[in-house]
Structure 1
Amino acid sequence: MSARPARAARLVAAAVGRGMDVRRWRVVLRLQARQGWRRVRDAFVPILTASLAAGLAYLVSGSLLGHQLPLFAAVAAWVCLGFHPDRQLRRVAEMGAGVTLGVGLGEVFAILFGSGPVQIFGVLLLSALTARFLDRGQLFTTQAGVQSIVVVAMPAAMFTDGAVGRWSDALVGAALALLVTALLPGDVVRRPRRMGQAVLSELATMLGTLARGLRSGDPQLAADALAQGRGSQGGLDAWVTAVRSAREVVQVNPALRAERATIAELGRVSTLADRAMRNARVVCRRAVVAIEEDGPSPDIADQVETITVALNSLAAAIGSGDPPEHARATLVRVSGELVPVLHASEGWRKQTLVSLLRSLVVDSLQMTGMSRGQAMGQLPEGDSAPADG
């Protein structure tokens, strides 16, 4: 292997996480910081409401029931609500039932048999089997087992609220969590839209970095773009999960029937975005070698920048729910410029890049609402997009 292909191979390996250098770590850490702040933003209100509910549950059990240490009221409220924005009434009820069942069985078991390793074994066996008999939910069984262990393992001297004190605390916390979920239902559309906007913005950022590398002839920038694409997969997976969760909610909630078409469309777009991201990573891999071997390519960089503009516009449209007319028009315009044979003088590597960009544009056009046939029809005749990478 010659020196330049070997260097390109090292850059690609570093970009996909094998022996990353300091430069690539900086790229990945900046990406992780952006995603981390998005997670904080998405979780702030759910955590705020769960924290308030836990404090209120502690107050209610302490003031109304007269319990001196209503620990399980706060625990049950937090466990049921958690930090997740997609709070489903059935899921919260399942968690609350599991907590109260586990605490109740633990109370009875501790009164009858005391505490110790044998008792831990016995109460977990009893609570888990009872939960499996009562409900098929995994969360129900898990919480029943965990809470029964906690109750039996904690010293009885810590609690002076009677035989069912901890159980009644758990019941208060679970009931309050259900009330919060019912009174403060989440927006099943807004969060998937916001996550989709973030994912497509990351894809646009990745292609913007690639365009700078193609324009300047810097393979390091192309490798940076590949690292960005690899680091964005977690956000994409989270978006797919959020859309799936929203689809489950609108299917069982008659009040959200009007949102079913929107959620179905977001599901279609998230699938296409995953395909586009994979194709974009293939483009970046090939670009590292193409730049190493054949130098800069300003004309291809122009086309990549146009795709970047279109994806930023599409991201904004997804986030707001507006028609992606500007994104579609921009993609249609650039699709007519993606003719591999026009780059024959630059070498077969650059022609391959253009062919791969055609596939990416087809995916992007489909995200604007076109069918695959309509999207393919925007490409110049005589050329066809390659299979999805």
Structure 2
Amino acid sequence: MASARVLARARLRQGWARVRRAFGPVLLASLAAGVAWFVARDVVGHPNPFFAPVSAWLALGFAADRRLRKVAELAIGVAVGVALADLLVQWIGSGAVQVAVVLAASALVARFLGRGDLLAMQAGVQAIVIVGLPAAESGGALGRWVDALVGGAVALAVATLLPQDPRSRVRSLAHEAVTEIAGVVHLLARGLESADPDDAAEALTRGRASQPVLDQWREEAGAARYNARVSPAFRRHTGELEKLEASAVLADRAMRNARVLARRCVQVVSDGHDTAHLAGLVAAVAAATDDLAADLARGGPSGRGRQALADVAGGCDPWSVSGDDWQVQAVVLLLRSLVVDLLEVAGHEPGAARGLLPEI
């Protein structure tokens, strides 16, 4: 039951974070779709310009990745599918066989025009819609193609005039992912302080539920780094994005170590060991990880979190935490691995991070 609650909270937390990140792109794409409808209906004069907002929405989507090349590829794919399907439907009509023929022809023409999979995919989808949607309901044959061009042009204008900084989404994901690590460590500290193995078990469950966020951070950091490298407007940010991508790999390792630590804490607490001193050390690591998450959200790991982790590393001495309980000492050894990983996320070189720990 407790695990179900932890998983439910994780899904709600991650879902809300996705909504926050998508709000701006969705709003912009929705406004672009409205503008495309207005231009096609009130400027061009088509009574039902269905494909204008469709083209604008598909070309922009709701993702933060809005490179001009990608937007243009999607817009061209929609226009190609609409134009080719319009012409073929005039000759061969509509039906099951016609759907297959028009889909194959549109996809192959799109493949000829460009190597991008998105272009061929959108051409095929729009071809299917054209065959199934009577021309009388969508502005006539060539009118549908014009509407698609209008929507694509609006999408390109939006992508050109309002480019999105590729760092913002990656920073948000970095903050969310490292906050998840901090949340796991906070639960461990609570379980160690209260001697409640259920809290430690919840920490393990939360750590497992947080893996998709870490995976998304790593994937999107790589994509953003590539986008910045090929974009003159954002090429200067390539260095920061490379660091964020490297930090994503290190944070994934930190979370794996946190889960190993959680499993060990469950056993130690269940066996009734004195973990009061250990709880304070783990709580300090959790607070420092919160600071690191805030630093990443602001654009870099160098800041309060880096210093806080360096300070707490000095307290990770197994014999100082427990002089005679080897099982508690073993937990401190696992905690040292986690602290080193977090120090590397904060920008320390591996040797320097290990050098901040007390010698044993």
Quickly name the TM-score band, shorter chain normalised.
over 0.9
| Counterpart for residue 200 of structure 2 | 222
| Residues 213 and 221, structure 1, Cα contact 8 Å, conserved in 2 | yes
Aligned length: 359
Task: State yes or no: 1:352 paired with 2:330.
Answer: yes
Shift of residue 202, structure 1, vs aligned partner = 1.6
| Residues 294 and 346, structure 1, Cα contact 8 Å, conserved in 2 | no
| Counterpart for residue 366 of structure 1 | 344
Shift of residue 297, structure 1, vs aligned partner = 0.6
Moved more, 128-137 or 367-376: 128-137
Q: Tell me which of 144, 148, 151 is aligned to 1:173.
A: 151
| Residues 294 and 347, structure 1, Cα contact 8 Å, conserved in 2 | no
| Residues 109 and 152, structure 1, Cα contact 8 Å, conserved in 2 | no
2:300 and 2:213 map into 1 onto residues whose CA distance is 22
2:325 and 2:339 map into 1 onto residues whose CA distance is 21
Q: Aligned with 2:44: secondary structure? A: coil
What root-mean-square deviation, in Å, do the aligned CA atoms of Structure 1 and Structure 2 show?
1.6
Q: 1:95 to 1:296 in 2, by over 3 A?
A: farther
Shift of residue 67, structure 1, vs aligned partner = 1.1
| Counterpart for residue 284 of structure 2 | 306
| Counterpart for residue 105 of structure 2 | 126
| Counterpart for residue 15 of structure 1 | none
Q: Deviations over 1:320-349 (max 9, x none)?
A: 13663432332223223223355363243x
1:187-206 → structure 2 map (5 Å cutoff) = 187-206=165-184
2:70 and 2:255 map into 1 onto residues whose CA distance is 32
1:114-153 → structure 2 map (5 Å cutoff) = 114-153=93-132
Shift of residue 290, structure 1, vs aligned partner = 1.8
Q: 1:259 to 1:112 in 2, by over 3 A?
A: same
Task: State yes or no: 1:233 paired with 2:211.
Answer: yes
Q: Deviations over 1:218-270 (max 9, x none)?
A: 11101111111112112222222221121111111123222111111111111
Q: Tell me which of 156, 162, 174 is aligned to 2:135.
A: 156
1:1-389 → structure 2 map (5 Å cutoff) = 22-159=1-138, 161-321=139-299, 324-342=302-320, 343=322, 345-348=324-327, 350-382=328-360
Shift of residue 195, structure 1, vs aligned partner = 1.8
2:333 and 2:345 map into 1 onto residues whose CA distance is 19
TM-score normalized with structure 1 length: 0.88
Q: Aligned with 2:239: secondary structure? A: helix
| Residues 84 and 127, structure 2, Cα contact 8 Å, conserved in 1 | yes
Shift of residue 308, structure 1, vs aligned partner = 0.8
**Gaps in structure 2 of 5+ consecutive residues:** none
| Residues 77 and 110, structure 2, Cα contact 8 Å, conserved in 1 | yes
Q: Which amino acid aligns with 2:60?
A: L
Q: 1:344 to 1:115 in 2, by over 3 A?
A: farther
Moved more, 223-232 or 294-303: 294-303
Shift of residue 205, structure 1, vs aligned partner = 1.3
Shift of residue 35, structure 1, vs aligned partner = 1.5
2:155 and 2:10 map into 1 onto residues whose CA distance is 34
1:296 and 1:276 map into 2 onto residues whose CA distance is 25
Shift of residue 296, structure 1, vs aligned partner = 4.7
TM-score normalized with structure 2 length: 0.95
Q: Deviations over 1:251-297 (max 9, x none)?
A: 11123222111111111111111111111111111211221123451
Shift of residue 133, structure 1, vs aligned partner = 2.1
